[in-house]
Each structure stands twice: as structure tokens, then as C-alpha cells.
Structure 1
Amino acid sequence: MAERRRSVSVDDLARLKREREEADERYNAALTALDNAIHAVPELPHPPPDPDETLVTPINTRWEILKARPVSPAGWRGRVAAFVWELIEPTFAAQQSFNAALVDHLNRNIAAQREIPKSIASTLALLRQQLDLMLYFQSFLQQMTSYVDTKDHEFTGLGRRVIEDAQEEVERLDRMTRGLAAGLSGVSDEMLKRWESLLARDQRYSGRIDEIRSSLAVAQQQVAALKREFERPRAVASTATVPSEGQVIRREDEAASTSSWKYVGFEDLFRGSRDEIRARQEGYVPLFAGASDVIDVGCGRGEFLDLLTASGIGARGLDLNHEMVELCQARGLDVAEGDAVSYLRVQPDASLGGLIAAQVVEHLEPQYLLQFLEQAQRTLRPGATIVLETINVACWLAFFESYIRDITHARALHPATLKYLVTASGFVDAEVQFKEPVDPANRLQPVPRAVRQGGDDILGALADSIDGNVERLNRLMFTHLDYAVVAKRP
């Protein structure tokens, strides 16, 4: 690229310097002529002479004209003199009083009159000094102004040269930056393509890993179940005889027991880990404080039994799933295998200190649920607590995300329905406690505030209507995922 042509060259800078020096010489000559032309300070007037004090002393000695009343002679002359004195004495007294005031005034002002010439002389001297300083200062200003003006030419050129140098450097850096940006853009595009490729590959691998993990968990559960089945002593039936009806039933039960590991895998995959379940059920522990012999119906993997044991509350569990029961027993928990109604029927009246059935009642048919509540009311002690937790089917998200996913669910129970059944079965103080609120981020969102800030009444009314519908839908679809009915045995 051709070199940028500058408006101020080196020769221009040298020429401007010579012009400045010549201008300095001309200014110096002009200043000399100006200084010579400045007139001297004009002669200031002399101060007035001192006041004339020649008559001050005679006036002070002659102002008193009435010193003493003259002695009157005897006879008629004395009477005439006294008469005349009476006539002229007031006039002389008045004159003497005037003279006294005049003398006093002169004496009071004589000192001030003496200072006036001195003050005027001092003022004239100070004025002459200030005039000299003003002329000197004016001359100095003229010199400084001329000197600054002569520097402007060179400094202006230097400034223009610096600006052009800076502009040229900026343009050079801009060209370099554009080239670098183009290179980086190309590298960024290539990196982005590779990143997208790696991300897609990672997603494929993550999906495959999840599939492998699920398959591995299923295989582990199946192997564990098969191992326990093979280790259990079995009566070897003769292959030559036809099995009896009881044998057929036992074989069906064994087949169900052998496949029970599948539901364990289902629990692990969809319901959550043991730590998550313990965290959800921890709030129920205070309801059984001070109780003993609490039964956990449908105890599953034994999460709530762990919580009760850790709190010093005696408890036992019951579950239909053979695999679940063996998992709990392997951890040292007191868990029996069987259905709730059959188990409770053989328990004595008022023998249990509490009952909890978490995520169980939705698996029961209506008739069986009523029998379960009847037996629970019979076997619980007076004042004992019953807790029935289930999916909140009144929340659409819970119904479609959780309820219909489990094929073992038999009936959806509305909170009001289950509370009524518990109360009708003889329990008191029944209340519904909602659990697991839906994350606000997953709820329907209202209209943004910016829509109402425009001042459009129609748009504002439309936003209010939408917000009202959103709130109603949120109350139906996105409230709480679970609920529990808590009641007391009277």
C-alpha cells in the first residue's frame, strides 16, 4: 500500500521554525520601539502647604473679654457706671461665649489640619509607585502576548503532524485488526463446527451410556434375583407326574417372584434414588414421635424405615414385591412379604402405634382400599397417626407425568375423595397436606410488564385476561405433585 501523503513535511516544519525566529526578531524590535515610545509618568501635583498657625496663640490668649466686674465709684458716678454696666454686660458675655466656642473649635481641628498635607503627600507617592508598576506590567504583558503568538505557528504544525502520525498508526492498526479478526473468524467458524460435531457425538454417546446403564442395572437386578432363587431350597417335582393345582399356583407365584426385580428397576429409574426418597419423607417422622411399633405398608426399598430407626422409633415394613422384601431384609430391616389386608387381619386390635402408606393407595382397587382402611382403623391404637401419601391427580402435570407412567396404578384418587374415605372409615382430624410444589420455572408465565407500559388500554385489558387464564391453568395443571392425608385413630 502506498505511503500516505502528509500535509506537513519536514521542510514545512523547518520553514515554520525559520518564520517563528524571524517573527521573534521583529517582535523584539517592535517591543523596543514600544518601550521607548512609552511616556514617563506625568508630574503629579504637590501636596498643599502646612496650615498657618500664626494667630493661634494670640487667639488663645485674647478670647476672654470679661475677666472681672469693675469697681463702681461712689456717688452718682458709681450709679451711672453700674447702670451702664448692666446694659452692656449681656452683650460682652455673649461675645465671650462665642469666642470660647471658636477657640475650642480651632484647637480641636489644628491637629487634623496638620495631618492633611502629610496624608496627601503619602497618597501621591503611593499613586506614583502604582503607576510605575502598571506601566511595567503592561510592558510585560505585551512581551508575553507577542511571544505566545510567535509560538503558535510552530506548535500548530507540530500538532498537525502528531495528529496525522496518530491517524496513520490507527489506520495501520485497523488493517492489522481486520486481518486478525478475519483469521479469528475463520478459526472460530471451524472451532464452532467442530464443537457442534463433538456436542452431537457427545449427545449420542450420552444416550448410549444411559441405555447401557439402564441395561446394566436391569441385568444386575435380574442376576441378583436369579441368584436368590437358585440359592433357595426347592422341592424337585417329578417330571413324570402331572402337577397338582397347588403346584401350579406355587409355580405361578415363583414366576412372579422371579420377575419382581423389574419393578425394583422401575423404582430406581423413575421414582428416584434412596437419598431423594428419604429427603421427601423426612417431614413425616415428627408425626410418629413417641410412637412404637409403626408399620410402613408398601415400604419399598425401606427409606422411611431407615428414618424411623435413626429417630429411635420402632417400626416394621410390609411389601408385596419379593425383591423389595429381600433387599430390605438384607439390610437388617424388619420387613414381611404379603398384602396389607391379609397382614392386618391377623394383627390384634389396637396393637399398632402408627401406619404410613406412601405411594400405595393408588395401586388398590376401591373395594380393597375400603377393607384396608377398615383394618387399619381396627388395629391402630387410640390417638395413633395414619399417613396416606399418593400422587396428586388434581394436578395435571402429576397425572400425566407420574400417574399414567406406572402400569400398576389401579385408581386415581382426588385429595377430597381420599380424605372423605379416611373420615368415613372412622378416623378423625383428617387433613390434606400437599407436597412437592411444581418449580415456578415450569409454570405458565404471565404477560411481561413491558406490554402494560405502552399505555394502550386494549392491550392492557388483553394482558389482564391472559394473566387471569394463566393463573387458572396454573391452579389446575401446575400445583403440587403429591399429597398426603393425615388423620388420627379416635
Structure 2
Amino acid sequence: MSGVKRAGDYLTAIFKLGRTERWAKAAYRSLETNEDRFGALERRIDDLNPRFDHLQRQIDQLQGQIDEQSDRWDGRTRQLKDGVKQQIHGETQSLMARNAELARNFVEVSRRLDQVLLATQKGETPPARPDPLPQKADGLSAVMDSFYHKLENKYRGTPSDIRSRLRIYLPDVESAVIRTDRKPVMDIGCGRGEWLGLLKDAGITAIGVDTNSVQIGEAQDQGLDARQGTARSALAEAEDNSLACITAHHLIEHLPFEEVLWITREAMRVLAPGGLLLFETPNVRNVLVGATSFHNDPTHLHPMTDPVLNVLFETVGFYPVETRHLHPHEKLAEFMAKPGFDPELANLMFGAQDLAILGHKPLKET
């Protein structure tokens, strides 16, 4: 390469180096300026941070006040809702109690009207009690009593089985006995006396009534106060407010509905305030009971369902009224545990076999 060419290259490089140096100095000055600006910005941020912290504390305080007020309003709203619910519940219970009182007054008037009409037909002074229905007293009745006693012994269950099932009612009856100052219990349709025996063991005075002479004899052999007679005659002879409980286990399905109505109405007179009326009957909501076992007893007239019995008790004036579905079939648990077996179908077929209705005579008129 010639000397002139080399010199030219050196000069070019020198010029480029000078220009690069100027650019570097300019960039450095710009960087210094930006650093000054960033420093000023950081100082400004540092100045503003206390203000932001103060604002955040104010926001937190306001949020706390809002949350506290919200909780207070929520609590007040719940109180108002609960208060309204309690008021509605109280008014509903008061109205139901008032309706029951009106029903009792109506039933008492109807009972007295029966007495007056009966006396008028006979041309006599109205009796203190309605005349009981006449009892049958012929040879065929004796055979019928023996047949029914054998039927119960074979299919209803052993006395120990029946006692075990009836034991569930003891707390209800004991409470009623206490409320009525230990007045006695009357069991109508007492049969072989299983329930009377349970009551005796519990220290409760009880009288049993049944039309079946064979079963009455068996109950009397156990030392129980069992008397032959009809429910109508036993209740008609009882004094006002004289009993703590009237119980009837698997009786009402044997009677015409008019007779069941009479017993229920008369029970309101005979029971003391705080007393209890208890009916137990086959539960025909259980398909197997309604379709088969109910008809194993030829003396059953027709089923008595819980809607019918509830309305009956309400009509007469019992309050409150409780419904219980009891004694499921032994196979219920097995079918409830079967994979894919519908629980509703299992209950329909193997659910409660007995239905109980418990009606209370109020301690005082409301």
C-alpha cells in the first residue's frame, strides 16, 4: 500500500475517533442529566410516601367502619327476620290454640245436644251420660272371642314382643300422669293386657276394657284391672276430667267411623286438663300392611289414615296433635342397603307398620 493511501486511512480513523468521542461525551452528559432527574423523582416519591401511607390508613379505617356498620346492619336484619318469624309462629300457634278451643266448645255443645235429644225421644229428663250401646251375649259371641284370641296369639306377636313395641309410649303417658296429678289411665280394647302390665310395672294406675271375655280372663289372671265391656259404656260411665290418658292400640280400625268419632269426642270430656288421647292403628301407607296383613284380621272394617285422624282430633279440639310412624319391617335396613334400590320404594314396602296419633287436652283454656 502506498504511503499516501495509508496516510489517508489514518486521517479518516482520526476523524471517526473524534466524532465517537464527541458522541460518548454527549451521551455521558445526557446520562448525568437523567440521573439528576431520577434523583429528583426519587426524592419526590419519598416525600409523597408518607402521604400515601396516611391515605391508606384513612382508607383502612373507613373500610373497617363500613364493615362494622355492615355487620351491625346484618345483625339487625337477622334480628328483625327472627323477630318476624317468632311473631308469625306465635300468632300461628295462638290461632291454632284458639281454633282448638272453639272446636272443644262446639263438641261440648254437640254432646249436650245428644243428651237432650235422647231424653226427648224417651220422654225423660236428660241423663248425665249417654246410654251405652247394648252388648251381645250369645253362644256365637263366645266362639268369636275364642277365635280372635287364637288369631292374636298366632299372628300379632308374643306378649313380650307387644310389650317391647308399646314401651315407646311410656314417657308420654308418664308425663300426662304427672300433669294430671296422677290420675289413672284407661286402655280401651286392652286385649291380653300387655300395655296394662307395662303401666303397672311403671307404677301407673290403669284400667283395661275389652269386649273379649277370653282375653279379659287372661289379663285378670295376671292380676290386672281388666273389665269386660265396650269403650262406649266405659267412657259414658267415667266422670268429667277423671283420667290422665285414654289409650287404644289397634282398636279403631275395628269400629265404624261414627263410633270412633264418639270415643274421640267423649275423651275430651273424660280427660283431665293436660291429659292425652292415644290411638295406634295399622299404617296402610306401608304397601304390605295395606295389601296383606291388614286383611288377615276379618274384624277390621277399614283403615284409619293419618290425614283422617289428624282432622278428627283437630275437629274435637285436641291441641297439639302429634303423628308418629312406628315399627318398620325388619327387612327395611336390608333393602335400604341394596345398591341401586330406591329408598322411597324400600320405605313404601318395608317402612313403618304402625301409625300413632297423640292428642293433648290443654292444661287450661287459651
Q: Give the TM-score taking structure 2 as reference length.
A: 0.57
Call closer, same or farther: CA 1:391–1:259 in 2, change over 3 Å.
closer
Aligned pairs (5 A) from 1:201-350: 253-289=138-174, 290=178, 291-350=182-241
Aligned counterparts of 2:140 and 2:284: Cα–Cα separation in 1: 33
- Alignment partner of 1:474 is 2:366: no
Letter in 1 for 2:310: K
- Structure 2 partner of 1:414: 305
Contact 1:292/1:315 (8 A) holds in 2: no
**Percent of matched pairs sharing the same residue:** 32
Call closer, same or farther: CA 1:386–1:272 in 2, change over 3 Å.
same
- Structure 1 partner of 2:327: 436
Number of residue pairs aligned between Structure 1 and Structure 2: 222
Secondary structure of the equivalent of 1:417?
A: helix
Secondary structure of the equivalent of 1:332?
A: coil
- Structure 2 partner of 1:363: 254
Task: For residues 121-170 of structure 1, give each alpha carbon's deviation from its aligned partner in whole angstroms, at most 9, with x where no partner exists.
Answer: xxxxxxxxxxxxxxxxxxxxxxxxxxxxxxxxxxxxxxxxxxxxxxxxxx
Task: For residues 243-300 of structure 1, give each alpha carbon's deviation from its aligned partner in whole angstroms, at most 9, with x where no partner exists.
Answer: xxxxxx9995243124411111111100000000000001111112134310011111
- Structure 1 partner of 2:288: 397
Aligned counterparts of 1:280 and 1:402: Cα–Cα separation in 2: 17
- Structure 2 partner of 1:195: none
Letter in 1 for 2:297: D
Secondary structure of the equivalent of 1:436?
A: strand
Q: 1:472 Cα deviation (Å)?
A: 3.6
Q: 1:473 Cα deviation (Å)?
A: 2.4
Letter in 1 for 2:318: F
Call closer, same or farther: CA 1:481–1:368 in 2, change over 3 Å.
same
Q: CA RMSD in A?
A: 2.1
Aligned counterparts of 2:299 and 2:257: Cα–Cα separation in 1: 14
Aligned pairs (5 A) from 1:9-88: none
Contact 1:394/1:415 (8 A) holds in 2: no
Q: 1:335 Cα deviation (Å)?
A: 1.1
- Structure 1 partner of 2:264: 373
Call closer, same or farther: CA 1:446–1:421 in 2, change over 3 Å.
same
Q: 1:387 Cα deviation (Å)?
A: 1.1
Aligned counterparts of 1:475 and 1:286: Cα–Cα separation in 2: 27
Q: 1:325 Cα deviation (Å)?
A: 1.0
Secondary structure of the equivalent of 1:427?
A: coil
Secondary structure of the equivalent of 1:292?
A: coil
Call closer, same or farther: CA 1:326–1:419 in 2, change over 3 Å.
same
- Structure 2 partner of 1:486: 358
Aligned counterparts of 2:137 and 2:203: Cα–Cα separation in 1: 40
Aligned counterparts of 1:250 and 1:487: Cα–Cα separation in 2: 29
Aligned pairs (5 A) from 1:129-208: none
Extract unaligned runs of 5+ from structure 2. 1-133
Secondary structure of the equivalent of 2:279?
A: strand
- Structure 2 partner of 1:207: none
Letter in 1 for 2:354: D
Contact 2:241/2:270 (8 A) holds in 1: yes
Contact 1:319/1:325 (8 A) holds in 2: yes
Please list every run of at least 4 consecutive aligned residues from structure 1 whose deviation after the TM superposition is greater than 6 angstroms. none
Letter in 1 for 2:268: Q
Q: 1:445 Cα deviation (Å)?
A: 6.4
Aligned counterparts of 2:183 and 2:198: Cα–Cα separation in 1: 14
Contact 1:385/1:486 (8 A) holds in 2: yes
Aligned equivalent of 2:277, options 361, 382, 386:
386
Contact 1:392/1:482 (8 A) holds in 2: yes
Aligned counterparts of 1:295 and 1:376: Cα–Cα separation in 2: 10
Aligned counterparts of 2:321 and 2:343: Cα–Cα separation in 1: 28
Contact 1:264/1:324 (8 A) holds in 2: yes
Call closer, same or farther: CA 1:349–1:444 in 2, change over 3 Å.
same
Q: 1:369 Cα deviation (Å)?
A: 0.8
Aligned counterparts of 2:286 and 2:312: Cα–Cα separation in 1: 20
- Structure 1 partner of 2:315: 424
Call closer, same or farther: CA 1:395–1:379 in 2, change over 3 Å.
same
